[in-house]
Structure 1
Amino acid sequence: MTAPTPPSLADEPRAVRITTDGAKATVTVDGTDMSKTLAGYTLEHRAGQPPMLVLYPTPNHQAAFDGLAHVVIADEPDPGPTVAAFLRTVDPVALERAALARDDLDGTRHELTRAMLAQLTDWALGKAT
């Protein structure tokens, strides 16, 4: 028998209020201002479901919302350092060679840049093209 899961903010919808001027946001959950403890949030709303507010340490997003939402504390780190670490491993010679060998080069302006970005995306997704 497994131990019961401790309660979380996501168990029941919470009263949420978000106001922002585009640079700074005020986020309150159940009347408690959480703004000083947040670096950012994501608000998602799908048809037929209550909105979901995800709180995590990323730059603030411009938004406005006042209503009930499920609230989840994200454990996803900022992807920036991971992306930077990946890019530091890229061999520029191999990148150029792979980009020039792609079959989606179209002869238009900036085709090599587009091909390099597509190649980096493929490599990041584990595609060996």
Structure 2
Amino acid sequence: MTEQPEQPQAHGVRIDSQFGHATIVVDGASLPADQITGYSLQHSIQDAIPTLLIHTRQPHGVAWQGLARVAIADPQAADPADVIAEYLAAVDPAALENAALNREDLGSERFDLTRAMLRQLADWVKGDQ
């Protein structure tokens, strides 16, 4: 497996979709239509280039070839909202407030303490002190 690039790699994509059928072309190469079971397209205009997730079926004896950025999700994994709620419930409010007040990036504008607390929580989640 190769290292993930620092910046997302953009690829030319064309999707022709009609009820019950979709043709997807990536960088000029048409994906096998009989293997495509669905797709999801997400795009936050301010944050990133669009993300296309293609769902495929693999008939017996057929191997899909191509380049893909792969992310595997465990359907049995805990709901991220539950994990986040559990983490936040365990945070010591006094420790959070003290850490936020001692941050070098704490400003003096409205909501800066809240912003510092959120940054501190993000740092703690990443394992930074």
Give the TM-score category using the shorter length.
0.3 to 0.5
Q: TM-score, normalised by structure 1?
A: 0.46
**Comparing both chains, which one has the higher relative contact order based on Cα–Cα distances under 8 Å and sequence gaps of 6 or more?**
1
